[in-house]
Amino acid sequence: MSTIKPYAAALLELARTLGTSTLFEASGLSTSSVDPAIRTVWPGASVAGPAFPLECSPGDNLAIHVAMEKAPRGSVLVISTGGFVAGYWGEVLTVAAEAAGVAGLVIDGGVRDIAALTARRFPVFARGISMRGTIKASVPSVGQPISFTGTPVAAGDLVLADDDGVLVIPAAQVHATLTKGQARAAREAGIMERLREGRTTLDLFGLSQWRDAS
């Protein structure tokens, strides 16, 4: 069983409130955002939790079934498939995940049974949708560090996903990133207040020299 340390509920709620875009800018890490092609399968989905990474062979979802017995409650499965789009995940695995306490799924591959996933409000972020099923023949890795579309992911890193995309923050940088994210959100709130008072973005962003550009 993995020894991933859980994050406090208040920390996860703060991360979701700040959102991926704010925390990406606050992180200062160009590699923390995953391929923007990995998108929510139903609008409004969001999830935050410790990563549980695994790797599937193309068109083979056996590693997911193995991970279901190993992933700690509250974790987010982060699954590399080499970008091969097939129906690795559907309603059956969603019910299994809910029973196991898995918080959500991020997969560089495909999922299916979208109506059921939407109705159950289970957060799923995927490269695509495919009715085509998978075999169960190999387990490349479960719980070990992976490269997910070029983003390093280790067990316990913070995964945050919402309508803007998917962000992975290394565990050692989570608290500093959230602190910077709160400061950034406060600055942006001040900017928006001044905009409502009649100021312009050219003024507030120090771009007034471009006012007469054509």
Residue 29 lies in a domain: yes
**C-alpha distances in angstroms, 58 versus 55, 78, 107, 125, 180?**
9, 15, 12, 18, 38
Percent of the chain with pLDDT over 70: 98
Residue 214 lies in a domain: no
Residue 28 lies in a domain: yes
Q: Quick one: pLDDT band at residue 212, thresholds 50, 70, 90?
A: confident
Residue 1 has pLDDT above 50, yes or no: no
Residue 185 lies in a domain: no
Instruction: Give the residue numbers spanning the domain of 19.
Output: 9-178
pLDDT at position 3 is 65
* Mean pLDDT across 113-129: 98
Residue 193 lies in a domain: no
Q: How many domains does the chain have?
A: 1
Mean pLDDT, the chain, integer: 95
Residue 51 has pLDDT above 80, yes or no: yes
Distance CA 152, CA 161 (A): 16
Q: Quick one: pLDDT band at residue 4, thresholds 50, 70, 90?
A: confident
Residue 206 lies in a domain: no
CATH of the domain at 34: 3.50.30.40
Which residue pairs from 89-95 have beta carbons closer than 8 angstroms and sit at least 24 positions apart in sequence?
89/61, 89/64, 89/124, 89/126, 90/116, 90/117, 91/116, 91/117, 91/120, 93/61, 93/64, 93/65, 93/68, 94/120, 94/122, 94/124, 95/120
Q: Which residue has the tokens 């579309």?
A: 149
Torsion of CA 64, 69, 75, 76, to 10 degrees: 10
Distance CA 65, CA 185 (A): 39
Q: One-letter amino acid identity for 83?
A: G
Residue 55 has pLDDT above 70, yes or no: yes
Residue 191 lies in a domain: no
Say if pTM beats, i.e. exceeds, 0.75: yes
Residue 2 has pLDDT above 60, yes or no: no
Residue 14 lies in a domain: yes
pLDDT in tens, 146-197: 999 999 999 999 999 999 999 999 999 999 999 999 999 999 999 999 999 9
